[in-house]
């Protein structure tokens, strides 16, 4: 176990949680000073359940303020007592959680399992509202300023698929050692008045998908053609790309721990409707 895994008690089991949350009221997943984070809310409830033992959740990644999740993954080590089975954890925690955070699944995994380092990839979906602004949907989508052509978005998205240096699409490039990632596919589909862009990759950099969506929005409006998108990608320069898309349209859909999960993933509907 790494230093992150040190506890004040002898580890007994490890549980993996899948968590759904509306990120609109939170500073993101990870605990930060003077802000309320999803991790803080969950850890507080779990620590009380385990008789005051301080539970530390290790997340599969970090989501920014305002970003949502359908199946964020996080793991933790349990003390030997009390020994609470997964089904009881699911029910008891969900009873105490606020309406905008809920556990979807709880399962035991090997002690050596790590929610972040054992992940093989993730899927994110970004939602564009191509219709009229709505007080019910605007919390979960971005209404572009210009009319969108979905075929143009789709054509530009294919340029971004593959293994590339995505330095043009990352905020604070100097803070990371390596900007090479693999995007296996980008699915662009319409559901009613919404355009959903689903990114499946082996990992994503800080605000990378929001940066990519800023470029795809520009392509959809006709400002950029696929060749222009390719030039931006190859420039490896953030200043060459359009502005970053806002956070509210982004959902972490799934964290993958097997190749089969990753290959099988498909969007089942609007991320804020299931």
Known binding residues for substrate: 124
**SS3 call for 239:** helix
Q: CA separation (Å) from 14 to 71, 91, 162?
A: 18, 18, 34
- Each residue of 103-126: b (16+ CB within 10 Å) or e? beebeeeeeeebbbebbebbbbbb
| Positions at the binding site | 124
Q: Is 165 a catalytic residue?
A: no
In this structure, are residues 123 and 254 in contact, taking their beta carbons and an 8 Å threshold?
Answer: yes
Structure tokens at 85: 């089975």
Nearest to 199 by CA among 88, 94, 100, 123: 123
Gyration radius from the chain CA atoms: 19
Residue ranges of alpha helices (H) inside the chain are 38-49, 86-96, 150-160, 208-220, 226-235, 259-264
Catalytic residue among 22, 64, 177, 237: 64
Q: Catalytic amino acids?
A: 64
């Amino acid at each position: 176990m790494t230093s992150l895994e040190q506890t004040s008690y002898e580890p007994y089991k490890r549980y993996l949680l899948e968590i759904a949350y509306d990120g609109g009221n939170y500073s993101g997943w990870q605990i930060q000073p003077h802000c309320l984070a999803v991790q803080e809310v969950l850890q507080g409830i779990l620590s009380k359940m385990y008789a005051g033992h301080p539970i530390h959740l290790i997340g599969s990644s970090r989501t920014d303020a305002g970003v949502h999740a359908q199946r964020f993954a996080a793991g933790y080590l349990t003390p030997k007592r009390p020994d609470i089975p997964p089904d009881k954890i699911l029910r008891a925690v969900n009873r105490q959680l606020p309406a905008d955070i809920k556990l979807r699944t709880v399962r035991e995994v090997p002690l050596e399992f790590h929610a972040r380092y054992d992940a093989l990839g993730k899927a994110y979906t970004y939602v564009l509202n191509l219709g009229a602004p709505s007080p019910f949907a605007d919390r979960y989508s971005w209404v572009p300023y210009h009319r969108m052509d979905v075929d143009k978005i789709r054509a530009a998205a294919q340029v971004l698929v593959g293994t590339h240096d995505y330095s043009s699409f990352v905020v604070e490039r100097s803070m990371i050692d390596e900007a090479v990632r693999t995007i296996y596919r980008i699915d662009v589909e319409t559901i009613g008045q919404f355009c959903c862009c689903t990114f499946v990759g082996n990992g994503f950099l800080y605000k990378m998908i929001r940066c990519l969506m800023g470029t795809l929005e520009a392509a959809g409006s006709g400002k950029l053609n696929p060749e222009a998108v390719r030039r931006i990608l190859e420039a490896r320069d953030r200043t060459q790309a359009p502005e970053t898309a806002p956070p509210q349209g982004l959902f972490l859909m799934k964290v993958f721990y097997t190749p089969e999960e990753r290959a099988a993933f498909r969007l089942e509907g609007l991320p804020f409707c299931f």
